[in-house]
Chains A and B, each alone.
Chain A
C-alpha cells in the first residue's frame, strides 16, 4: 500500500517537470512599496489575460509566464509608465485578446448595443401589457 501511494505521488508530481528551475521574478509576488503604484499595477493586472491559463487574469494565474508579466507590469508602473501605455504595448504584441477591457472595435459593438436593445424590448413589453389591461 505504501509503495502504491508512493508511485501515485510520483505520477501526480509530473507537472512539476513542465516548469523551469528558476525562482519567480522579483516583482512577480511582491507588492510595490508605494501603495498608489501598487493599486494601479493591481488594477491593470486584473484586466490582463494570462497567456497560459487563458481564462484567468495574470493577477490570478500561477503560471510562470503570468509571474513574469506581473514583474513587467510592476517594473513599468514603478518607472512611471501609465497603465494604459503598458496595456497598449501588450496589445501591439498580442492583440486586444490580451486585455479584458472591452474595446470599441466592430466585433464588440453587439456587446455595447445589447443593453440598449434589451431596454427597448422591455419598454415594448410593458407598453403591450398596459394596452392589454386597458382593453380588459
Chain B
C-alpha cells in the first residue's frame, strides 16, 4: 500500500472534523424567509379583531406612505416586549397595523390594556390564513409595506432595540 493510501482515512477524518467544527461555528439559518419581498401584498380582508377598532385589509396597505404590518398574538410571549418597542416607533410617526393570529377579542383587549396599543388597525386571523398567504411562519413577524402596497422587508422574530436602525432605514427607503 502506498503512503498516500495509508493516510487517506486520517485525512478524511480531519476533513470531517473540520466540516463539523465549521458548521458548529456558523449555524444554519433555520428561519423561513418569505418569497414575497419585492412583490405586492396578496389580496386579503380580515374581520375586526376588536369591536372597538378598525380592521386591516390589503387595500389599507397601499395608501401612499410606508406601513409596518406586525403579525402578533396575545398568547405570544416575545410579543409582550415587542409591542412596547412598537409604541416607541409609533411615537416617532410610524404607521403600524396588526394582524392577530389565532386570538380571542377578550385576550387581545387584555393584552393591549396591559402592554399598550401601538396599532392603527388590527385584523383577526383565527386560522392563520393571511399569515400563510404572506409567507410568514410564526409570531412575531413584521412586514414593511411601501405606499404602493409592495412588501419591501420581512423581519422574523421580535423587533428589538438593535433592529430599530434597520427598520427605520427600510421605512425611509420605502417612502
Contacts and interface: CB of A to CB of B under 8 A. Distances in A.
Interface of A: 17-22, 25, 51-52, 54, 64-65, 68-69, 71-72, 90-95, 97-98
* Most chain A beta-carbon contacts within 10 A, residue among B33, B101, B102, B107: B102
A87 B134 CA distance: 15
A93 B132 contact: yes
Contacts of A68: 102, 127-129, 131-132
A83 B75 CA distance: 33
A73 to B, nearest CB: 10
B73 A71 contact: no
Contact of A64 (B32, B102, B104, B133): B102
Given A51-B137, A65-B137, A20 B36 contact: no
User: Number of contact residues on B: which range applies?
Assistant: 20 to 34
B102 A93 contact: no
Contacts of A54: 30, 32
Nearest to B42: A93
* Most chain A beta-carbon contacts within 10 A, residue among B30, B35, B127: B127
6 contacts: A18-B75, A20-B101, A51-B137, A65-B131, A65-B137, A93-B134
Nearest to A24: B127
Nearest to A65: B128
Given A20-B73, A20-B103, A72-B129, A95 B35 contact: yes
A14 B134 CA distance: 29
Contacts of B104: 21-22
A65 B130 CA distance: 12
B107 to A, nearest CB: 6
Nearest to A26: B127
Given A72-B132, A93-B133, A94-B32, A52 B138 contact: yes
A51 B128 CA distance: 12
B44 to A, nearest CB: 13
Nearest to B106: A21
B36 A93 contact: yes
